[in-house]
Amino acid sequence: MPPRRAVTGRSQEPRQRFVEELRLLRAQKGDSLRQLGDVLGWDWSLFGKMEKGQTMGGPEVAQALDQYYGTAGLLLTLWEVAAGDPTQFKERYRRYMTLEAEALSLWHYAVSVLPGLLQTADYAYDLLSAGGMSGDELTRNVEARMGRRELLEGNHGPRFRSVLSEAVLRTPLEDAEAWRKQLEHLIEIAKRPNVTLQVLPFSSGLYGLESTAVMFLRLPDGRTVAYTESAHRGELIEDPQPVERLQRAYDAVRDLALSPAESRKFVMRTLEEVPCDPST
């Protein structure tokens, strides 16, 4: 069999090919790194490091670039191959990421940890570290998670509601100052007109989602899909019947939760309980 001929003349090494495509697409668009950072909401230096091959970024970054350049998943696919673990981001999760970016509204229930859209960098770092990540992989995923928060910002951000089990607020970070900043971030983000934050107190008793963190997405075509998640796996659910059952359970949880105003007071009381740094 004759050797395979390179059609494009570009690198056949996955990581280098990813870098080449990033450079080519930005050149064709005519953007500077700073302009790219301003448009997509990440620090421009991240894109510079990606184009030098110093970091891979994360799947959310690759997806955002695909949407901006109109490359229909090319960069996300190249990222997945170059990252060396094609099983890490399976088809359902890739599809969920696409749907999340398109959603008109999102609503979420948190069993034990904050959703990524509400996390500070310190919280994300500690959470992902506890899950076994380290090194460049950890850095990439924290950067990507911070980038995802941009979804809620701006004048056209989708509506987002999150109901937090009290357990989420009773599980602090080891660093008291980092935990203080996380709680302050919750208070600030809840002031945004498109964000609603509620707390489900322990006193509410048993309910239907004790062991299930779930995100619902309302899509432009009128459908609602759900994404359930545990520490070890996530599942995208598009079948209307199980989505409806989950929605009824969520509605019951929301009805048991404190009002947004009372929830803000709850978070503020939690903040007041955080010990102050004696050196400040």
CA atoms lying within 13 Å on the CB side of residue 237: 16
pLDDT tens column, 58-82: 777 888 898 889 888 788 888 877 7
Percent of the chain exceeding pLDDT 90 equals 47
190 pLDDT exceeds 90? Answer: yes
Q: Please, what is the average pLDDT of the chain?
A: 85
The C-alpha angle with vertex 173 and arms to 269 and 141, in degrees rounded to 5, equals 125
What three-state secondary structure class fits 172?
Answer: coil
CA dist 198 to 152, 161, 173, 190, 260, Å? Answer: 17, 8, 20, 9, 5
Tell me the CA distances in angstroms from 99 to 47, 142, 205, 234, one per residue in order.
24, 21, 33, 15
The residue assigned the tokens 């107190």 is 201
| CATH T-level fold of 87-116+157-273 | Endonuclease; Chain A (3.30.870)
The reported pLDDT for the residue numbered 4 is 39
**Largest distance between two CA atoms of the chain:** 73
Take residue 52 and report the two structure tokens written for it.
């030098």
Q: What is the pLDDT of residues 247-268, one digit of tens each?
A: 999 999 999 999 999 999 999 9
| pLDDT at 27 exceeding the cut of 60 | yes
Say if pTM beats, i.e. exceeds, 0.75. no
85 pLDDT higher than 60 = no
| Token couple for 229 | 């998640």
Q: Does domain 14-84 have CATH number 1.20.1070?
A: no
Among 201, 208, 199, 84, smallest CA distance to 140 is for 84
Query: Domain segments of the chain: what residues?
Result: 14-84, 87-116+157-273
